[in-house]
Structure 1
Amino acid sequence: MRIVSMGLVLIISLIGVFIFKSLNLPIPWMLGPLIVMLISQFFIRKINLEWPQSLRNLGLVIVGVAIGQSFQFDLFAGMGWIILIMFAMNISLTAFSVGVSYVVQRIGNIPLKTSLTCTVPGGLSQIVTFAEEEKDINLAMVTYFHVIRVISIVVLIPFIVSGHVVSGMEGSGFKLETVLPLIILIAVAWLSALIGKKVKLPVSFFLGPVFLIIFFQFIHIETPEVPLWLLNIAQIFLGAYIGLLLKPHMVKVGARILFLGIASSIVLLLFTYIQSLILVFFLQYSLPTSFLSTAAGGLDQMSLIATSVGADISVVTVFQMFRLLFVFIVTIPLLKVACAWIDRRNSQKQRNEVDISKT
């Protein structure tokens, strides 16, 4: 039955590619499967649509290799100034998301811990894991908010920057003699991802191959170029997986919460767009490079979109890696402190109410 489900997902994904290519829409190999898959599962109820995480991981490995091969070392020449900008942008984004959480709390009548966790600009998997570990947090609501954020960013950004595309990624066609070297390269990259997972490297199936290929470049080991057809396959794998993130049961959270999830994602997207204009002004990056660098999307998705729209992959990857580290080192610890403070405040409030009732 799982084979039938996966086969159906693949067919739906290919239909999405065909529709997007026919309409000349941006990034058809990822957005086509994502959007058509997202819509299809709300109508296909008799079959439980599945797409294994292992295929998503394989897609990440392929994209990671391609990103590593495109990385430019000269970016690090002016890194001191760029680090200050990245710090300022991440701090302001975190502060802005806290403000959004208070609005979400007021309008949605949501507990503060839940609203903070819903709006904090962290990675989907990291924030959901945090929510699972904390008490008194509505996990379903947090998952919905972050899934909506990821999907809205991945879907909307290509349309926003499509009019500013410099040049799409070019790649070689299918050549039989390159298949074996590519298989070996992907296998070695997969091994690096497993090692990264062992040492707790975030997004290890993406960053493991990226670091591996950058290391190969540093010691002047040549690797076979990832052809466009293989990158297209990786995009289908990722698009189908992301499209299945939003499950039908998530939309049962209520109309007000549905609206708040979408609205908060759009507001966050607008804020990062303003940040991207600042990068364009001060660092003279192109709009696609700047927007993909500041967007609060996943490192892997933003880097993949960068390859498709001709953005500076090195800049996008470095900015998104910094944001990921900022989430781990600053955002999540601060969120834990905030949740602990809220717990203490609520406990004190309950004790005061008990004391008043006794008197």
Structure 2
Amino acid sequence: MPLSRYLPAMRRHLPVLLHWTVLLVLSALLAALLEWFGLPAALLLGPMLAGAVLGVNGTALRVPRLPYWGAQGIIGCMIAAAVHAEFLGLFLERWPLFLAVVAATVAASSTLGWLMSRSRILPGTTAVWGSSPGAASAMMLMSEAYGADARLVAFMQYLRVVFVAAAASLVARFWVDASGATLPAIVWFPPVDPASLLLTLVIAFGGVALGRLARFPAGAFLLPMVLAALLNGFGLVELVLPEWLLAISYAVLGWSIGLGFTRQILRHAARALPQIVASILALMAFSAALAALLAWQFGIDPLTAYLSTSPGGMDSVAIIAASSDVDLAFVMALQTVRFLVVLLLGPFLARFIADQLQRSHRSA
């Protein structure tokens, strides 16, 4: 058959293949650069930035639905694996203090989100999701299911992660020498138990299927997370998530968000940048005041209190705490409790604030 018969199809597919190649290479380069700088969530941020570069320049690439839902299931299992049983004893011992600190932080972040939404700085409940103190990946996934703009939510969440990680590093260096706080080396292909890996995938993808069939908001993320957390918490399964699998899931999620960026969205984010930065600094100042209160009233070490109340960037806070003379169990227990409360209350708070905003706009 003559080659000319296939040339039209080749011309149609070549730009798509070229765009995917550029996306893959740029994602790898940016992720490696961010990892080199020690930035948290580099494996997600690199692909997201690469997708945004192509999206702003008019690419037609989009992540197919099935890989996107699968990535949500894997990330849900990853979050479930972070819920450690040993934190339960510490929580039961000091639960009034933990819940009071978490409630105050969530109230402050929700108020900031409400003020930004009321001022129409960002559309709908986007500011509420973007202001949530922690669980950045989860907030992005759930915000989209509840009608917010996941691209702007991601922008707010990860800008705060950068601010919080930088501030925590500086504060730790002020109290102790934390210069040795480095990210552990990534083992891309660790030895794994094939049966445990297969069971983890069954939980992830089975939860995704149930979530989609139930038509539950953000079900492709929430159902695998809840199912995995229950099984893991009771010691019934060992969740196995090798780094290569997480990297693929991060990349798929990052691309799905980044490719949705347009010049119009970027202009909107740039216009709202001063207010977004102001809200981040206000939440960090409130958290620092809470830390001072914990140190003053309860005799908690100031650095332990500060790292415990830092609003987000749990992985970077864990690294800094591990290399400092602090109560690591207290820091991670309080961070984990806030993480779970934000996951549970996020949708309800967003819907409540959205209803209040609609009433105020109608009465105005």
| 1:111 matched residue in structure 2 | none
Question: C-alpha deviations, 1:203-236, integer Å up to 9, x for none?
Answer: 4444333333332234332425323333333333
Contact 1:51 1:241 in 2 (8 A): yes
| 1:332 matched residue in structure 2 | 351
SS at 2:62's partner residue? coil
In the alignment of these two chains, the number of paired residues is 314
One-letter amino acid of the counterpart of residue 273, structure 1: M
One-letter amino acid of the counterpart of residue 266, structure 1: V
After the TM superposition, which of the residue ranges 315-324 and 280-289 deviates more from structure 2? 280-289
| 2:71 matched residue in structure 1 | 59
- Inter-partner Cα distance in structure 2 for 1:251 and 1:222: 43
Equivalent residue for 2:103, pick from 77, 87, 94: 87
Residue 29 in structure 1 maps to residue 11 in structure 2: no
Deviation of 1:13 (Å): 0.8
Contact 1:8 1:49 in 2 (8 A): no
Contact 2:84 2:233 in 1 (8 A): no
Residue 184 in structure 1 maps to residue 206 in structure 2: no
Sort the Cα spacing of 1:332 and 1:308 in 2 relative to 1 into closer, same or farther, 3 A: farther
Question: C-alpha deviations, 1:114-164, integer Å up to 9, x for none?
Answer: 7774543465566666669xxxxxxxxx67754542453355444444565
- Inter-partner Cα distance in structure 2 for 1:224 and 1:341: 46
| 2:7 matched residue in structure 1 | none
One-letter amino acid of the counterpart of residue 234, structure 2: I
Alignment of 1:100-249 (within 5 A): 100-101=116-117, 104=119, 117=125, 119-121=127-129, 123=139, 145-146=152-153, 148-161=155-168, 168=183, 174-175=189-190, 178-179=193-194, 181-198=196-213, 203-223=218-238, 225-249=240-264
- Inter-partner Cα distance in structure 2 for 1:326 and 1:61: 20
Deviation of 1:314 (Å): 5.6
| 1:299 matched residue in structure 2 | none
SS at 2:341's partner residue? helix
Sort the Cα spacing of 1:288 and 1:38 in 2 relative to 1 into closer, same or farther, 3 A: farther
Residue 319 in structure 1 maps to residue 338 in structure 2: yes
Residue 38 in structure 1 maps to residue 56 in structure 2: no
TM-score by length of 1: 0.68
TM-score by length of 2: 0.67
Sort the Cα spacing of 1:182 and 1:129 in 2 relative to 1 into closer, same or farther, 3 A: closer
Alignment of 1:65-84 (within 5 A): 65-73=77-85, 74-75=87-88, 76-77=91-92, 78-84=94-100
Q: Percent identity?
A: 15
Deviation of 1:250 (Å): 2.0
One-letter amino acid of the counterpart of residue 99, structure 2: I
Sort the Cα spacing of 1:307 and 1:176 in 2 relative to 1 into closer, same or farther, 3 A: same
Contact 1:70 1:313 in 2 (8 A): no
Question: C-alpha deviations, 1:98-118, integer Å up to 9, x for none?
Answer: 44456x46xx7xxxxx77745
Question: C-alpha deviations, 1:33-66, integer Å up to 9, x for none?
Answer: 3334333443x43x42333354344333333323
One-letter amino acid of the counterpart of residue 120, structure 1: V
SS at 1:87's partner residue? helix
- Inter-partner Cα distance in structure 2 for 1:333 and 1:86: 19
Residue 49 in structure 1 maps to residue 49 in structure 2: no
Q: Identify unmatched segments of 5+ residues in structure 1.
A: 109-113, 133-141, 296-301, 347-359
RMSD of aligned C-alpha atoms?
Answer: 4.0
Deviation of 1:191 (Å): 0.9
SS at 1:120's partner residue? helix
Deviation of 1:319 (Å): 1.4
- Inter-partner Cα distance in structure 2 for 1:129 and 1:177: 34
SS at 2:193's partner residue? helix
Question: C-alpha deviations, 1:65-123, integer Å up to 9, x for none?
Answer: 23323322334313333223322322233333344456x46xx7xxxxx7774543465
Alignment of 1:235-314 (within 5 A): 235-251=250-266, 258-259=270-271, 261-281=272-292, 282=294, 285=304, 287=306, 290-291=309-310, 294-295=311-312
Question: C-alpha deviations, 1:9-39, integer Å up to 9, x for none?
Answer: 2222112123334555554322333334333
Contact 1:71 1:314 in 2 (8 A): no
One-letter amino acid of the counterpart of residue 89, structure 1: T
Residue 16 in structure 1 maps to residue 35 in structure 2: no
- Inter-partner Cα distance in structure 1 for 2:219 and 2:253: 15
- Inter-partner Cα distance in structure 2 for 1:196 and 1:306: 32
SS at 2:61's partner residue? coil
Sort the Cα spacing of 1:82 and 1:177 in 2 relative to 1 into closer, same or farther, 3 A: closer
Sort the Cα spacing of 1:58 and 1:278 in 2 relative to 1 into closer, same or farther, 3 A: farther
Question: C-alpha deviations, 1:175-195, integer Å up to 9, x for none?
Answer: 566345313321222212333
- Inter-partner Cα distance in structure 2 for 1:189 and 1:129: 18
Sort the Cα spacing of 1:230 and 1:242 in 2 relative to 1 into closer, same or farther, 3 A: same
Sort the Cα spacing of 1:60 and 1:130 in 2 relative to 1 into closer, same or farther, 3 A: closer
| 1:354 matched residue in structure 2 | none
